[in-house]
Amino acid sequence: MAGAVLYVVGIALHASHVGLWLRLLGLIVFTVFAFRRRSLTAWIIWGMLAGVEFGLDLPSAALEARVFSDIFLRLIKAIVAPLILGTLITGIAGHGEMRSVGRLGLKSLIYFEVLTTVALVIGLVSINVSKAGVGLDAVQNAPIHGHAEMRMETGPPHDTGLSWQQFLLHVFPENIAKSVAEDQILQVAVFALIFGLALARLKEEQRAPLLRIAESLTQTMFAFTNIVMYYAPIGVGAALAYTVAHGGLGVMASLAKLLVTLYVALIAFALLAMLPALLIARIPLRGFLAAIAEPATIAFATSTSEAALPRAMEAMEAFGVPRRIVGFVIPTGYSFNLAGSALYLAIASVFVAQAGGMHLGWKQQIFMLAVLMLTSKGVAGVPRAVLVVLLATSSVFHLPEEPIFLILGIDALMDMGRTTVNVVGNCLASAVVARWEGEFRKETPPKEALRALVE
């Protein structure tokens, strides 16, 4: 990462020749690093650096390169409706056994929703305090000589003339194909919610065929997302090149502020939500930190919750959580307990509105919170799949789409933090529910658990 550091220093000295040479040297060093690492995250960061340099050195060409970022936007938008449909149906109907586990399922869901709500509230408060996106619309929409047609289109404003009866009616779909075609994501989510509940009510042999189709659709869309993400370095680079050529380096300060806002909010969530839950449930802090160290490290390094899942389940079982609780709570949490992703989405959605010069009142933000509670389910497994949910939210609230590209430029860095919180939160949930059930360290003695962790 030395190349990235050199490049950042070069940006700070961009007005001088020394800054130019530092930026070029940093870009070369980071290119070598990206080739050796062969990581998509490294190449996305490289695309970000290359895009900024392209925008600084060749602004006219960078303005014309916006088409490459538009291609990426179209591909991402193609994912939204099928992925929301598949993840919600499998997330709900896939746990039809909740009726049989009864008390365990109810306690898990209560815990999940309480923590997710707290995460969303902390996210909204954080971005409203930092105002990281405020003023960015002036930079984005500044007219450029000869390129006036390339100003940002922020989309239609909120329709304040819509009555609450009309809005409520608009939430419910009359034709799911029409909802998908018109990008009515909230209608798709409501349909998926009701469909999943209906499917969960069927007998196992009746539910299984449709559930397999929904699961296959979900996994296919995750694979589709992975394929599209290979294009992400080009899309990110083109978007940042256009932005820097259009408005200068002022946008980088806003992105840095957004990144700091997210990590401060994640730390606040850990201290204000996860730590109290741990203390109230009387979970040993030192032992828990030892148990989650490896899964959290895997999550942070790979930005993928699924990569950390096997080790997380093994570690929590060794920590003293019964296997049946681990096997139910942690996989279920991957659909219902995405506190890190929910917090990120709250911050990112308001940032996009601020960047587009839109003012969202508290009533609109609270409603956004409710929408995010629904649309954020089931996207923890794939890096940057949460951007799909962000696009879904932007369509519901008529937010501008272009600022999402700015977020994508630093999303690799943000993804590490939110994925780590997702994994740690699910591990903590299994321990809290086990304590709630009176079964924590009942099957596995503490000494054996600690010995298993060390081994």
- Domain annotation for the chain: domains and CATH numbers: 39-143+160-454 (1.10.3860)
Checking if the pLDDT of 173 tops 70, the result is yes
Q: Which of the residue ranges 70-79, 256-265, 387-396, 397-406 has the most confident prediction, judged by mean pLDDT?
A: 256-265
Checking if the pLDDT of 147 tops 80, the result is no
pLDDT of residue 73: 77
Checking if the pLDDT of 262 tops 90, the result is yes
Long-range CB contact pairs, 297-301, < 8 A, 24+? 298/423, 299/416, 299/419, 299/420, 299/422, 299/423, 299/424, 300/416, 300/417, 300/419, 300/420, 301/416
pLDDT of residue 420: 92
User: How many other C-beta atoms are found inside a 10 Å radius of the C-beta of residue 146?
Assistant: 9
Number of H helices and number of E strands within the chain? Answer: 23, 0
How far apart CA 58 and CA 79 sit, in angstroms, is 32
pLDDT of residue 14: 66
- Are 121 and 263 in contact by the 8 Å Cβ rule? The answer is no
pLDDT of residue 397: 78
Confidence of residue 160 (pLDDT cuts 50, 70, 90): very low
pLDDT of residue 432: 93
Checking if the pLDDT of 159 tops 60, the result is no
AA letter at 125? V
> Residue 323 has which token pair?
């296997």
pLDDT of residue 279: 94
Instruction: Answer with the residue of higher pLDDT: 322 or 251.
Output: 322
Specify the range with the lowest mean pLDDT, choosing from 9-18, 137-146, 243-252, 264-273: 137-146
Instruction: Answer with the residue of higher pLDDT: 296 or 360.
Output: 296
> Residue 162 has which token pair?
């819509």
Q: Is 144 left (phi over 0), alpha (psi -120 to 50) or beta?
A: beta
Instruction: Answer with the residue of higher pLDDT: 306 or 98.
Output: 306
How far apart CA 278 and CA 284 sit, in angstroms, is 8
pLDDT of residue 285: 93
| Average pLDDT value for the chain | 79
pLDDT of residue 156: 38
pLDDT of residue 428: 94
Specify the range with the lowest mean pLDDT, choosing from 127-131, 156-160, 428-432: 156-160
pLDDT of residue 379: 56
pLDDT (tens digit per residue) in 34-91:
888 777 778 888 888 888 888 888 888 888 888 888 888 788 778 878 877 887 787 7
- Are 234 and 50 in contact by the 8 Å Cβ rule? The answer is no
Instruction: Answer with the residue of higher pLDDT: 432 or 439.
Output: 432
pLDDT of residue 138: 47
Distance of CA 361 to the CA centre of its chain: 23
AA letter at 141? N
pLDDT of residue 158: 43
User: How many other C-beta atoms are found inside a 10 Å radius of the C-beta of residue 11?
Assistant: 18
